A and B are shown apart, each in its own frame.
Chain A
């Protein structure tokens, strides 16, 4: 009577790698769900979508998506993606990274990818901790949250990632939480169809380490918290989007603009200066072009 229907997400996943390593209630899976919905709704040739990630719990996203995917070194997903995109401009390149991977060890690459406007969609799952290594403090852990390396509470000022992205030159900047699944999926879909360095921060629970260590309850409580504390402010000044411990979470699309990507700027400069002598980069092919 009940016909077996395949879950719509499944065709985007490497089912032969399931179950994933993520803990029950982990927010990363929710973001992947939204991402697959964005893939369904955007009109992209999925053979041309590549996902690149670094190291950490979020770094494992690439391995579960049934797309061309690359699991790089810690912090270096963005420069890998920059090389991939420049060498094969036809690809839609998506970087999936955690807060530690992207803003600590990869922080320098983050500001430079935004500055040069690398044509990459960068999704950051911000759960305020290093999950894979056991819950250490990251550049986004707010005072006085407990982490394994701040047993008496975090005390360093944090990065406001949307503001960092916007002030470094990102052309699309949004923030959502894993409570806002519909908005997040739509934001991902919109960002997929845009050009330039696009940044989406997703506030997500790490129930195993961050929530437990700070006695914040289960993932479900956290969804309630996100719901209560989030305020949607599209176009908000990113300076006002800083997060603190358990305070308000400003979400929405903060920046949505267009400026030349690195490749467009480079092509324009070369054509202006070299004119006819400029030979634009040709897409790599298997055939020797002799």
Chain B
């Protein structure tokens, strides 16, 4: 279906990444948001707090991130599309509810504007060090979707997309910015509402009594209903059967948790997004994401000037990870160079995928600034020599 024009700020704007996320959420039809202030992400909810009353949305600032991260889950079951936003320490606090959203198959969107950690770390400076936390941070086995914009325009596009994916797969989706992308101002073009595709909720058409809120369709994803419609259904974070009733035994656990994982892994080809340039015939391919992909671009140009055949591969979906494509690349290149603003996270996933078929060269930076392009260039030249 098409976007509700009320929330779509059609036109050409100069926006920072945080504000572009707010507009992406509005365009997606998000009308409920809960938040707790934390640098460098607060601008997202500040804009939402200003914009929502003009378009029929409600924002609530809660007492902490624990509250915000579950209030949005409540909002979703009430029938709204909902969002919360945070950074580092707040993201740590939200982990329990990311798992809860995965377990209850709640279509909800979290935005994490990454800053330097661990702990309070670098509140105002960039890092990309929550990548593995997004994937593994909540206890137990689960899968979610994580997207990595590298520009304000993409903050708009991918926040909208995050809502669509959340609805399609009934899964929490995390938009993983970094402080630089969150605070950089660039042109953002917001198309007219009729050009924006919005995924509606998978409302069941079964009547109460026949509907099983956790019985999957062929794509392994169940349909849903909302509170107040007469279904009188139950939702729990306990291991549950298709009715949603607690069933704490090994066979139910196997069936449920396996499906929560499979519904993302088996649909990965439909979920995955990446951007690839000049990988054909390349000796070296840079695998990067977020702000680092823009610094890497400069390194690629510098290497080209030196006559090295370099390609680039930009992760847009960090989770699920494009295992198949990276494995293919590993068969044709000498090395994959992975720059990131952490001391080894997505590079580990690359390394694991490549399984020794080519070299993986991480170019690691602890955060607080971005790489010097020369540091990435050096890694490229190391292979080319």
Contact = CB atoms under 8 A, between A and B. Distances in A.
Interface in B66-105: 66-68, 70-80, 82, 96-97, 100
8 A-B pairs with the lowest CB-CB distances in the bound complex, closest first: A284-B79, A83-B74, A83-B71, A88-B78, A87-B78, A79-B67, A87-B75, A84-B74
A192 interface: no
Is the contact region of chain B dominated by helix, strand, or loop, or is it mixed?
mixed
A190 interface: no
A79 B66 contact: yes
B54 A278 contact: yes
Interface in A123-163: none
A68 to B, nearest CB: 4
A233 to B, nearest CB: 32
A63 B54 contact: no
A72 B100 contact: yes
B60 A262 contact: yes
Contact of B234 (A62, A79, A280, A282): A62
B73 A87 contact: no
Interface of A: 14, 16-17, 47-48, 50, 52, 62-63, 66-73, 75-76, 78-88, 90-91, 108-109, 112, 262-263, 266, 270, 274, 277-286, 288-290
Contacts of B63: 79, 108-109, 112
B79 A80 contact: no
A76 B66 contact: yes
Contact of A82 (B64, B74, B226): B74
A289 B31 CA distance: 12
B60 A278 contact: no
Contacts of B216: none
A70 B58 CA distance: 22
A290 B2 contact: yes
Contact of B228 (A69, A90, A263, A289): A90
Contacts of A274: 53-54
A68 B34 contact: no
Nearest to B53: A270
Contacts of A17: 245
B58 A281 contact: yes
B55 interface: yes
B238 interface: yes
Contacts of A112: 62-63, 67
Contact of B71 (A82, A88, A285, A290): A82
A263 B59 CA distance: 11
